[in-house]
Amino acid sequence: MDNKNLFWYGFFANTKKFFGKLFIVAGITTALFFKDYFWFISLPCIIIGIVLIAKGSSQRFDYKRQSGYMVHGGDR
């Protein structure tokens, strides 16, 4: 991959992690203020947030490996 593609790859990984954290905070805030809507709004927001953080972290790890910042043990 060239540097431009790697930049956007890392950028979108960080963006996914950011929105994942934002969804979790929104879910927790909704749960605190609107207890009746926990199952309909809060829980899905928290689950989406966890999935986005996991995908962003995985993509960020792959970005670091591809950019040469980190050498994976299996690549030797």
Q: What is the pLDDT of residue 69?
A: 67
Longest Cα pair distance anywhere in the chain, in angstroms?
54
- Mean pLDDT for the chain overall: 82
Write down the pTM of the prediction: 0.75
Count of alpha carbons within 13 Å of 40, Cβ hemisphere only? 4
Print the SS3 string covering 2-61.
Answer: CHHHHHHHHHHHHHHHHHHHHHHHHHHHHHHHCHHHHHHHHHHHHHHHHHHHHHHHHHHH
Query: At how many degrees (to 10) do helices 3-33 and 43-67 cross?
Result: 160
Per-residue pLDDT tens over the stretch 16-34: 999 999 999 999 999 888 8
